Structure 1
Amino acid sequence: MRSLLSVLSRTTTTTSIPAWRPTTSFILRGSKPDICTRCLLRRQQQLRFYNNNQFSDDQRWLSVVDHPAQVVRTGRKHGPGLIILALIPIISFALGTWQIQRLEWKTNLIAKYEDRLVKPPLPLPPQIDPSVVPEFDYRRVTATGTFRHDQEMLVGPRMRDGQDGFFVVTPLERGEGESTILVNRGWISRKMKEQRDRGVGACAGGEVVVEGLLREPWKKNMFTPENKPEEGKFYFPDIEQMADLTGSQAVWIEETMVQDLVEAYDREAKGIPIGRAAEVNLKNNHSQYIFTWYGLSLATSIMLWMIIRKRPNEATRRVRQNRNW
């Protein structure tokens, strides 16, 4: 019996396959039951290397002493937004300075026109050179002739005291040897657009004396549509176009009248054009523009200084490691 047990034990010892037992828990945690022999050998070699050597012996290993971390501040680098913010105060300051020059120019221009208004009316010569009209802009003049109501043109729409209407432009045919000119007689309401709807005196014939302001040609802005003379629609006074259409000289007179509220109501009811006042109506808003541009320059300068001089608090600081790590 004892000999049989010894035989069995020897048989079991010789036939059993010894299992590979890793010597560290690192291999046990990283290995899998179906891992190949080559991977096991590679891990054993790595384990023996790290057990026999220090980390500093490896040339690929980087030390925190050799490559220390850098303390940086977030928001230190500014993008193109800061460049734009830096340009705004410069540009706005330049625009404010330019508006100062414009204010001086506009003030002198208004003073020159008002000086012309106080002079007595000047009779128009028989023939007028249109090229010299800008030198007599806002000059009071008188002309005698007959209105050609059959060639009347309505420019509009034009607003007056909240009501929609038109400017009545009628050629004034002067005496023999004298040129025909264009006269802006004034404003009428839309309901008096047709001549048959107007009262007595609105389209009266006979010789009349017109007193008004000699004005240079108007300038069309980009928002105004083009005139349609074939349809009788004029959105702005194109003096050259109107003169060619009526056989007149390109001379524009704006008829004036003493502003009286009662007379204005009577004229509006009868469809008689209401003339303008003999005054300079140029807008002079350059003082507001100066305040606006200089205020914008000051405000954006303060914003720029606050952004550049801003100190970060502890919440905005961080540690950024070297890129070689």
Structure 2
Amino acid sequence: MGVVQCTTRRPIKPIAFRCPACRHLSQSTARLEAKQPADSPDFISIIDNPPNLIRAGKKKHGLGLIVLALIPITAFALGTWQVQRLGWKSKLMAKLEDRLVRDPLPLPPHIDPNAIHEFDYRRVYATGHLRHDQEMLIGPRLNDGKDGYLVVTPLERGGEGTTVLVNRGWIPKAFKDQRKREGGMENGVVTIEGLLREPWKKNMFTPDNNLRKAEFYFPDVVQMAELTGSQAVWIEATMEPDLIQSWDRAAKGIPIGRPAEINIRNNHAQYIFTWYALAAATSVMLWMVVKKPPADISRRVRQNKEWN
């Protein structure tokens, strides 16, 4: 039996083959043939448009910046005010120093309390009898780190018939009782030399005097004058600043008078430096906050608003 061979052949469909390079060129050619935005005569390229440098996330300082701006202004104003205070205090101290170098004046029989301001720190002297029975102790008061009291005794002037208050000085706490300081109880006619002073002013931290218990925390001249029937005149007894003599008087319970010198504080120069330094420092801080350049990472280029 023979083999029959079919002579009829199916047509073989050709396999489509396209070169990748040709395909790429054909696609690129298609895109080139399409209409591009740059073909328009009104087209503006982003390269031709000028960029704007902006700070990304722009900060709003608000109240913090206002407060920071007020600090140097306030500090400068306070420094200027302290300059004026320094001038006033310097003139005052010069006037008081001039009064100290003058010879002491006899204290007039009657003194107008309103005129004492014109004689503050004026050296005066008065003669009379010390009324130890009306003695008043103001304290506690420190002297070289030791606790004690100021002894205030009315001075009764026999010839004038008037009485003034005399701050005789400081005594240690151990001699609070008069019986323990017999050496400090001057009797007979005495002459007190000291400084005529204005009435003291109580600060807000000092408690009020307790008249019922005879406890005095500050020298209320008017109150003490009414209590003892004296004039509202305050004299601070003075003595030469001698350390050995002060030790001897303290050991005997004799009041230690104050030196004849001005004890007014004058720290305005320090305040001026402090306020002006603060004004300068905060001004630099304010300038750094306002003028601080943005970081490189926060710099951005954005298109102009008119660019489409």
- Category of TM-score, reference length = shorter chain: 0.7 to 0.9
Unpaired runs of 5+ residues, structure 1, are: 1-69, 320-325
Aligned residues between the structures? 250
Match of 1:257 among 239, 244, 253: 239
| Equivalent pair of 1:74/1:318 in contact (CA under 8 Å) | no
Residue 216 of structure 2 corresponds to 234
Residue 281 of structure 1 corresponds to 263
Alignment of 1:27-46 (within 5 A): none
Match of 1:128 among 106, 111, 125: 111
| Equivalent pair of 1:74/1:317 in contact (CA under 8 Å) | no
> TM-score, structure 1 length as denominator?
0.74
Task: Measure the CA separation in 2 of the matches of 1:79 and 1:191.
Answer: 63
Residue 227 of structure 2 corresponds to 245
Task: Measure the CA separation in 2 of the matches of 1:75 and 1:217.
Answer: 62
- Provide the alpha-carbon RMSD of the alignment: 1.8
Residue 9 of structure 1 corresponds to none
Say whether 1:162 aligns with 2:162: no
Say whether 1:86 aligns with 2:69: yes
Match of 1:204 among 183, 186, 190: 186
Match of 2:203 among 202, 221, 231: 221
Match of 1:147 among 130, 137, 140: 130
Deviation (angstroms), 1:267: 0.4
Secondary structure class of the residue paired with 1:229: coil
Deviation (angstroms), 1:79: 2.2
Q: Which moved more, 1:150-159 or 1:180-189?
A: 150-159
Task: Measure the CA separation in 1 of the matches of 2:284 and 2:56.
Answer: 22
Unpaired runs of 5+ residues, structure 2, are: 1-52, 302-308
Residue 301 of structure 1 corresponds to 283
State the one-letter code of the partner of 1:300: T
Q: Which moved more, 1:247-256 or 1:148-157?
A: 148-157
State the one-letter code of the partner of 1:120: D
Change in Cα spacing, 1:79 to 1:318, as seen in structure 2 (3 Å) is farther
Say whether 1:271 aligns with 2:250: no
> TM-score, structure 2 length as denominator?
0.78
| Equivalent pair of 1:127/1:178 in contact (CA under 8 Å) | no
1:86-127: CA deviations, max 9, x gaps? 001001001101111100110000000010011111001111
1:21-54: CA deviations, max 9, x gaps? xxxxxxxxxxxxxxxxxxxxxxxxxxxxxxxxxx
State the one-letter code of the partner of 2:169: G
Task: Measure the CA separation in 1 of the matches of 2:133 and 2:143.
Answer: 25
Task: Measure the CA separation in 2 of the matches of 1:71 and 1:124.
Answer: 81
Secondary structure class of the residue paired with 2:183: coil
Say whether 1:179 aligns with 2:162: yes
Residue 101 of structure 1 corresponds to 84
| Equivalent pair of 2:55/2:298 in contact (CA under 8 Å) | no
Task: Measure the CA separation in 2 of the matches of 1:72 and 1:95.
Answer: 37
Say whether 1:194 aligns with 2:156: no
Task: Measure the CA separation in 2 of the matches of 1:74 and 1:227.
Answer: 65
